[in-house]
């Protein structure tokens, strides 16, 4: 049983990556370059040195957060397509708190305060579609998409009207609450953007796993996602869970905003969230909505993203963007097919087990 489940989790991404590799070869050839050389360059620019690894880890940090955000809502049967806005809002919340706090505040207080604000603001943005879904049955897919536009426009207005440094699209530097770079502790990562937010992201993954699979609330949340009416029958207050899961999901996405704002730049900048929200869907999909799978998938997509830059001088960066989309499409396509096959196999095994037992029961 566990084996089929693991197969179900692993098979689609593997198939997808095979397909993506072939597609990638074709695209590279179309540009008159040699696939081998380009792939080598991609690997060298990502996992080939500590800096590249650091960059991959940096990008994976944000993607882990948005991936977890999508997965958590997904486990409750909801599609949070609004991670983009929640991520931006979270980063903005962290920045505002960081700006308001006195510079003298020790990091042990300032950092958690900023983290909490990020999660709170992201969570608040996530709670809106959650509440509308719980109260009115409004499609969270549509509401989150629409809310992305609204939130981004709102943040843009606040920053451009109230908060920006002259001639720029960013807030002033944040005095308190900055998260140290990983390079401060491990010199080899010098220069790369990776920072201790990654620890929070991994911790978030662990907590999410524990929460989903080891707590009563997680049990109820997953039940709502699988069969809301059964959950209701089981004493679960379904609207409350819908709201809760969207708020938690938004909070996780909001946490991702810290990576850029407090960990990397030290200020909020318009447009920093670009793309990371939607990539979170890909991460959750390839990670099969499982926190550990998401950690792995985040690394994969971070590698593709960073790799796109590494090969940029030779082929357009859009190469890896196309591959990313191809991976999503093929995983999304493979999942139901693999599920169907495995489910059929499992059903026949169970049926034969039942029959065996029945036969035994009859003979004794």
Partner 1 sequence: MMLLAFILQAIRIAVPYLLAAAGGVMSERVGVIALGLEGLMLSGAFGAALGSYYGNSPWAGLLGALVAGTLITSLLAIATIRFRANQVVVGVAINLLVAASTRYFLRLVFDSSSNSPRVPGFGGEGVSNVMLSSFMNPVVWIGLAALPALGWLLYRTPFGLRARAVGEKPEAAATLGVAVNPMRLKGLYLAGALASLGGAYLALDQHQFTDGMTAGRGFIALAAVIFGRWEPVRVAVACLLFAGAETLQIQLQGAQLVPSQFVEMIPYVLTIIALAGVVGRSVAPAALGKSE
Partner 2 sequence: MSAEASRAPAIRMRGVVKTFGGVVANRDASLEVHQGEIHALVGENGAGKSTLMRVLAGLYAPDGGTVEVHGREVTGWKTTEAIAAGVGMVHQHFMLVPTLTVAENVVLGSEPTKGMTIDLHRAVLEVESLCKRCGLHVDPRARIADLTVGEAQRVEILKALYRGAKVLILDEPTAVLSPPEVQELWTVLRALRADGGTVVLITHKLDEVIAVSDNITVMRAGATVSQLATQGTTPRDIARAMVGRDVNLHLDAMGAVRHGTAHGAAATTAGAAPALRVHGLRVMSDRGTVAVNDLSLEIHPGEIVGIAGVEGNGQTELLEAIAGLRTWQSGRIQLGTHDCHGLSVRDRADYGLSHIPEDRHRRGLVLDYSIADNLILGRQHHFATRTGLDRSRIAANAAEQIQRFDIRPPIAHVPARALSGGNQQKIVIAREMGREFTVLLAAQPTRGVDVGAIEFIHEQLRAARNAGKGILLVSADLPEVLALSDRIAVMYGGRFVTILPAADCSAELLGPYMTGAAA
Partner 3 sequence: TVADTTDGLDVGIVFDVGGRGDKSFNDGAYLGGERAQRELGARVTYIEPGEGSDREAGLRLLAAEGMDLVIGVGFIFTDDVLALAKEYPNVRFANVDMSVPSDSVGNPLPLPSNLRALKFREEEGSFLVGALAALVGKSKKVGFVGGMDIALIHKFEAGYRAGVKHVCPECDVIANYAGVTPEAFRNPGRGKEMALAMYNQGVNVIFHASGSTGLGVFEAARTTGKLAIGVDADQFNEAPGYVLTSMVKGIDASVLAAVRAVKDQQFTGGVQQFGLAENGVGYIYDDNNKALIPVAVRARLDALTADIVAGRIAVPSTREQK
Ligand X SMILES: Nc1ncnc2c1ncn2[C@@H]1O[C@H](COP(=O)(O)OP(=O)(O)OP(=O)(O)O)[C@@H](O)[C@H]1O
Chain residues 157-216 in contact with partner 3, contact rule CB under 8 A:
157, 160, 164-169, 191, 193
Per-residue contact string for residues 74-113; x = within reach of ligand X by CB under 6 A: ----------------------------------------
Contact yes or no for 277/85 (Cβ under 8 A): yes
Measured between alpha carbons, how far is residue 286 from residues 75, 179, 295 in Å? Answer: 14, 29, 10
Contact yes or no for 302/327 (Cβ under 8 A): no
Q: Which does 30 bind (CB under 5 to 8 A by kind): ligand X, partner 2, partner 3, none?
A: none
Give the shortest CB-244-to-partner 2 separation in angstroms.
16
Binding region for partner 3 (CB under 8 A) out of 5-13, 200-208, 280-288, 314-322: 314-322
233-240, Cβ contacts within 8 angstroms, sequence gap of 24 or more: 238/134, 239/134, 239/135, 240/134
Burial bucket for residue 207 (CB in 10 Å: 0-12, 13-18, 19+) = middle
Q: Which does 310 bind (CB under 5 to 8 A by kind): partner 2, ligand X, partner 3, none?
A: partner 3
Q: Residue 66's closest CA among 7, 144, 132, 133?
A: 144
Number of residues this chain uses to bind ligand X (CB under 6 A): 9
Q: Which does 341 bind (CB under 5 to 8 A by kind): partner 2, partner 1, ligand X, none?
A: partner 2
Among 105, 219, 292, 317, binds partner 2 (CB under 8 A): 219
Among 157, 186, 210, 213, binds ligand X (CB under 6 A): 213
Question: Furthest-apart CA pair in the chain: how many Å?
Answer: 87
Q: CA 255 to CA 115: how far, in whole Å?
A: 7
| Residue carrying structure tokens 């008159």 | 32
Per-residue contact string for residues 11-40; x = within reach of partner 3 by CB under 8 A: --------------------------x---
Chain residues 313-332 in contact with partner 2, contact rule CB under 8 A:
none
SS3 content of the chain, % helix, strand, coil (to 5): 80, 0, 20
Contact yes or no for 247/127 (Cβ under 8 A): yes
Per-residue contact string for residues 265-294; x = within reach of ligand X by CB under 6 A: ----------------------xx-x-xx-
3-state secondary structure of 95: helix
Q: Which does 55 bind (CB under 5 to 8 A by kind): partner 1, ligand X, partner 3, none?
A: partner 3
Give the shortest CB-1-to-partner 3 separation in angstroms.
42
Number of residues this chain uses to bind partner 2 (CB under 8 A): 35
Give the shortest CB-301-to-partner 1 separation in angstroms.
11
Interface residues with partner 1 (CB under 8 A) are 27, 30-31, 79, 81, 132, 135-136, 138-139, 141-143, 145-147, 149-150, 153-154, 156-157, 161, 278, 281-282, 285, 316, 318-319, 321-322, 324-326, 328-329, 332-337
Following DSSP, what letter does each residue of 169-218 receive, concatenated? SBPPPP-S-PPPBGGGT-GGGTT---BTHHHHHHHHHHHHHHHHHHSHHH
**Of 164 and 288, which CB lies nearer to ligand X in the complex structure?**
288
**Cβ-proximal residues to 265 (8 Å cutoff; 6+ apart), any chain:** 170, 272
**Phi and psi dihedrals of 176, rounded to 5?**
-120, 145
3-state secondary structure of 269: strand
Among 106, 229, 363, 364, binds partner 2 (CB under 8 A): 229
Among 30, 34, 160, 215, binds partner 2 (CB under 8 A): 215
**Of 291 and 308, which CB lies nearer to partner 2 in the complex structure?**
291
Contact yes or no for 24/323 (Cβ under 8 A): yes
**Of 6 and 37, which CB lies nearer to ligand X in the complex structure?**
6
Q: Name the site residues for partner 3 (rule: CB under 8 A).
A: 37, 41, 45, 51, 55, 58-59, 152-153, 156-157, 160, 164-169, 191, 193, 260, 264-265, 271-272, 274-276, 305-306, 308-310, 312-314, 316-317, 321
């Amino acid at each position: 049983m566990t084996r089929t489940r693991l197969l179900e989790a692993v098979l689609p991404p593997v198939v997808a990556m095979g397909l993506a590799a072939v597609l990638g070869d074709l695209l590279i050839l179309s540009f008159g370059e040699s696939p081998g050389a380009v792939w080598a360059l991609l690997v060298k620019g990502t996992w080939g040195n500590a800096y590249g690894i650091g960059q991959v880890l940096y990008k994976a940090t944000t993607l882990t957060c948005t991936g977890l955000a999508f997965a958590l809502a997904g486990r409750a049967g909801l599609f949070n397509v609004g991670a983009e806005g929640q991520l931006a809002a979270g980063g903005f919340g962290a920045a505002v708190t960081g700006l308001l706090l006195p510079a003298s505040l020790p990091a042990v207080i300032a950092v958690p305060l900023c983290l909490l604000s990020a999660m709170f603001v992201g969570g608040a943005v996530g709670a809106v579609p959650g509440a509308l879904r719980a109260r009115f049955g409004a499609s969270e897919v549509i509401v989150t998409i629409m809310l992305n536009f609204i939130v981004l426009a709102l943040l843009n207005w606040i920053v451009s009207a109230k908060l920006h440094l002259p001639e720029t699209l960013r807030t002033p530097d944040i005095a308190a609450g900055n998260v140290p770079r990983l390079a401060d502790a491990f010199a080899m990562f010098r220069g790369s953007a990776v920072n201790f937010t990654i620890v929070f992201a991994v911790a978030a993954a662990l907590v999410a796993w524990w929460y989903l699979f080891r707590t009563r609330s997680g049990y109820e949340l997953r039940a709502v996602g699988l069969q809301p009416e059964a959950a209701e029958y089981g004493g679960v207050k379904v609207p409350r869970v819908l709201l809760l899961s969207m708020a938690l999901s938004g909070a996780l996405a909001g946490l991702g905003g810290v990576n850029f704002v407090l960990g990397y730049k030290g200020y909020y900048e318009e447009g920093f969230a670009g793309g990371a929200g939607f990539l979170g869907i890909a991460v959750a999909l390839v990670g099969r909505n499982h926190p550990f799978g998401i950690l792995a998938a985040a690394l994969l997509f971070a590698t593709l993203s960073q790799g796109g830059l590494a090969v940029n001088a030779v082929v357009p960066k859009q190469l890896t963007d196309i591959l990313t989309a191809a991976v999503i499409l093929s995983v999304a396509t493979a999942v139901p097919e693999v599920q169907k096959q495995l489910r059929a196999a499992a059903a026949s095994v169970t049926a034969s087990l039942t029959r065996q037992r029945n036969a035994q029961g009859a003979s004794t």
